[in-house]
Structure 1
Amino acid sequence: MFKKDKCDSDSLKKNSLLCNFRDLPLWLQDNCDILKGYRRPTFSYLKCAESLFYVHNESVNIWSHLVGAIAFIFLGFITYDYVLSHHPSIIWWDVAVFYIFLMGAMICLGLSSTFHTFCCHSEKVCAQWGRCDYVGIVTLIVGSFYPMIYYGFYCHNKLKIFYLTLITLFGCATIFVAFANKFRTPEYRWFRTGLFVSMGLSAIIPLAHALIIYGFELSVKVISLKWIIVMGVFYLTGAFIYGSRIPERWFPGKFDIYGSSHQIFHFFVVAAAFIHYFGVIQAMMYWHEQNHNCELDVSMLKPSFIH
């Protein structure tokens, strides 16, 4: 009897930490199709951190990107020894662009996980970490551009500098917009999605330029075009699911804890980042095995000349 009362007491204590959508303050109301499993405002970083160890509707969002961030930190430790150091022609630029991408992934996933952990603290703290979350997204997008542009214009220094400068300025402008108070409200969900998607799709310009220089078949090797296309499909699919709030908009209350659009979006982001990681390795290996000194003309690198 005493044991049963204790279990009931523990269950009541745990459930009291959670509430339904209608019980939330306005600043925590984001998705009306997620009906339950919300954490109440805690006004405590410690209590927010404690929510890592019980299940609520942000658990998957927190852990999916926390595990992803840890995985990229691990890759940061092993990439140089097991990938980059195998090619004697590797220079500091190769290392820099590779680690800018890795750092972008770590920062994005880490800040995202942190935001979802502490968003129930208070309105002010939620807004602050929300902005950090947007900065992380921009950092990953810009960081992903760096190796793509570096290897896409490996032997074209002026174009390389031009496109790297352009995407960096675009990223800074996006961060500036992201700091506006209205940007994080539910009404601006599609605007947020569109802004980040537009930033990602701006890759079409340097990609098209690279295709003009190399042609499709060589671009597959030079800039890992197929990997980039797959990565883009993952990001766009994830962004569409996030913006459309599928599947919970079709079945309100059925995906409160597991399987909501934001959670699916998180997994697509992690998968896309890993896809890009392997694509960068392929592009790096191609250049350092075929033409690391840029001694061969582009026409000599095309398939009909390589045999």
Structure 2
Amino acid sequence: MPQVSFAHPSLCLNFLPLLHRLLPSNPPTVRDVDVPPLFRERFILTGYRPTGMSWRCYALSLFQIHNETLNVWSHLLAAAFVVLRFMVFAIMRGGGPEGEGFSVDASSLPLVLYVLSAVTYLSCSAAAHLLQSHSEQAHYSLFFLDYVGVAVYQYGCALALCLYSSNTAWRQSMLGQVFLPAAALLAWLSCTACCYAKLRFRRPYPLHRKLCQLIPMGVAYLLDISPVAHRLATHNWTGSPALPLHFLQVVLFMLSAFFFSCPVPERFSPGRFDIVGHGHQLFHILLSLCTLAQQEALFHDFLWRQPAMVREFGEERLLLACASFPCLTLCCALTALAMRRQAQAQLMKEQR
């Protein structure tokens, strides 16, 4: 039987080196003792990427198996799903019978900002975990960026929950009157405290480093979730499809906070959960699910509140509330840049 040749052997041989140059294989992962202390995680013994490689190598490590792989992919996939789900909602108008396109106006702008904040924190987190092994300076800079993303998401949630998910009694309360300024302040404090804790404390980290991170973030969450908590406590859940989803996202957030605070299950079996299953990965997965559940709840609340929003709040007040979002983002970014300069000075001092 005649044989058919699909390509000349010499062409294949010439193509392979080109493919290798375009997609070089990364060096194998190493143990914790082979990387500087800054890059080590408690009870994670293997799966570290060597430091000092090119940025290209760390970008390509997206397709390599290491102890950050699930941290990166969980948030990348969640960010993609947030965008795709919002696009479907915008085109279909939330599945409404009118089928109109989604128009950005004063009543829908807070929802757009929420989606933007969710994509920002998920993308910043994925970038930090993917690229942070490049150098100590990159490690600090990228995690400062990660904390900016978290603060932006905190305030994006606060803005959307205040305007879409609250009821009249909560808005007329003292807490409702000061909610947005207090939420902006706490978001900035969370960013500042996390940056400071990252810069100030060295491994092995003391307990008060974790407290420095958790207390501002915990207080911010309790404030941000107060409109939903009030509704869950005072309304019949069967009357709104959003309330079960809000309850689900609260449960998922509490579980994610537990795994962020405690190195479980790797504490009980160091080395066994290095690649799959350690606490920070579970935190990422649960937080991603929390964000997706919250987004769905806000879609329902948006459709519920949109017809009366401009009449109830006033267009100018809505636009002013939305204008506070880029102001908060700028404040957090400037804080992170100031912390980055301090990190540079600290590293230069240590190298002398």
State the TM-score, normalizing by the size of structure 2.
Answer: 0.69
Match of 1:237 among 231, 255, 264: 255
Which residue number in structure 2 is paired with residue 192 of structure 1?
213
Q: Match of 1:179, as an amino acid?
A: C
Provide runs of 4+ in structure 1 moved above 4 Å: 13-16, 84-91, 153-161, 207-212, 288-294
* 8 Å contact from structure 1 (residues 42, 122) kept in 2: yes
Which residue number in structure 2 is paired with residue 216 of structure 1?
235
Structural RMSD (CA): 3.3
* 8 Å contact from structure 1 (residues 220, 226) kept in 2: no
Distance 1:18 1:293 in 2: 59
Q: Match of 1:226, as an amino acid?
A: P
Match of 1:27 among 32, 35, 38: 38
Distance 1:204 1:61 in 2: 25
Matched, 1:143 2:156: yes
Q: How do 1:18-167 and structure 2 match up within 5 A?
A: 18-31=29-42, 33-83=43-93, 86=96, 92-153=105-166, 162-167=178-183
Structure 1 position 15, deviation (Å): 8.4
Rate the CA distance shift 1:291–1:165 in 2: closer, same or farther, 3 A: closer
**Residues 191-200 or 135-144, more deviating:** 191-200
Encode CA deviations 1:156-194: one digit per residue, 9 max, x unaligned.
Answer: 877766322221222122222222112686432354234
Q: How do 1:265-284 and structure 2 match up within 5 A?
A: 265-284=283-302
**Residues 73-82 or 133-142, more deviating:** 73-82
Q: Which runs of 5+ in 2 are unaligned?
A: 1-19, 313-352
* 8 Å contact from structure 1 (residues 177, 183) kept in 2: no
State the TM-score, normalizing by the size of structure 1.
Answer: 0.79
Structure 1 position 94, deviation (Å): 2.9
Q: Match of 1:216, as an amino acid?
A: H
- 1:202 counterpart SS class: helix
Which residue number in structure 2 is paired with residue 177 of structure 1?
193
* 8 Å contact from structure 1 (residues 211, 219) kept in 2: no
- 2:269 counterpart SS class: coil
Structure 1 position 285, deviation (Å): 2.4
Distance 2:86 2:303 in 1: 18
Aligned length: 279
Match of 1:262 among 251, 276, 280: 280
Q: Match of 2:195, as an amino acid?
A: F
Structure 1 position 218, deviation (Å): 7.3
Match of 2:243 among 210, 225, 244: 225
Structure 1 position 272, deviation (Å): 0.3
Q: Match of 2:240, as an amino acid?
A: K
* 8 Å contact from structure 2 (residues 259, 282) kept in 1: yes
* 8 Å contact from structure 2 (residues 107, 310) kept in 1: no
Distance 1:256 1:15 in 2: 19
